[in-house]
Amino acid sequence: MQVTIIGVGLMGGSVARDLRRTGFASRLVGVDNNSAHAAQALSDGLVDEMAPFEVAVARTDLTVLAVPVDAVVRLLPRALEALPPRATVVDLGSTKGAATATVRGHPRRGRYVALHPMAGTEQAGPKAAVERLFQGKIAIVCDAADSDADALRAALALLEALGMRPVNMESCEHDRQVAYLSHLPHLVSFALALAALEQQRDAGTILNLAGGGFASMVRIAQSTPAMWTPILLQNRAAVLEALTAFSRQIQALSEAIEAGDAARLHDAIAAANRIRTALAVRPPAES
């Protein structure tokens, strides 16, 4: 099988590493408009060659769009037009509503499978690519009924090669869920980092005192603006809903502290502790 990977950064490069390691692909072709990334991907052996978009897609069995979600919206129709008759295209974007809407009614819509691997790091570029990034993680498969049966099989085979556990979900529900589970945590991390950096300008040494808790909270604040700006704007309705829910909780905590209400504060923290149990009893992934 020949696989074309559009975008050979963290996600695309990590996919390439695992497809080479598992023997899933006999040949890996990369596409990237960043010349430095393209050269690095070739130097590191992530792909066998780099090629122009239409050329690479036209001779592939499976095309993986591993690019920011605004680029997915632009490139997905082009990929469907260039794709060989029985080939498949998947994307790895963190939002699905915009991508699926872009090709709704497209005559070749069935060749597309919308995927979201729940995996990643705050790093970027081919140097960030690692083996087994996806091992044991969940991959959400959106609107599976809109994909041709053989295209869906190809996508599930890809997920199996990556060691992922597929879960089926509709695009609209996916976008609402990830607003709380992924997009809101990034916004909280961005806001915390900005607040600390603002204080750093005043105090000069505050970040020298930072411990593990702070470092854990702001790790994902290092994620790239090019990736996260379009995610947050594409999913704005669900993100704003999640922000409203979060703001209510922050306001309640603020009011308890302002009032010196120890019982109310204690009860809120105790209620939050239940997240430990909720995470521990997560159901196994569906197939």
Tens of pLDDT, residue by residue over 248-272, are 999 999 999 999 999 999 999 999 9
**Mean pLDDT score of the chain:** 90
Q: Whose structure tokens read 């239409």?
A: 54
pLDDT digits (tens, 9 = 90+) for 109-139: 999 999 999 987 767 888 888 888 999 999 9
> What DSSP letter does each residue of 14-73 carry, written as one string?
HHHHHHHHHT--SEEEEE-S-HHHHHHHHHTTS-SEE--HHHHHHT-SEEEE-S-HHHHH
pLDDT at 282 over 60: no
Q: How far apart are CA 23 and CA 1, in angstroms?
A: 9
CATH number of 174-280: 1.10.3660.10
Question: What pLDDT sits at residue 284?
Answer: 45
Cα-based angle 179, 93, 74 (whole degrees, multiple of 5): 120
pLDDT at 179 over 50: yes
- Domain extents in the chain: 2-169, 174-280
CATH topology of domain 2-169: Rossmann fold (3.40.50)
Same topology, domains 2-169 and 174-280? Answer is no
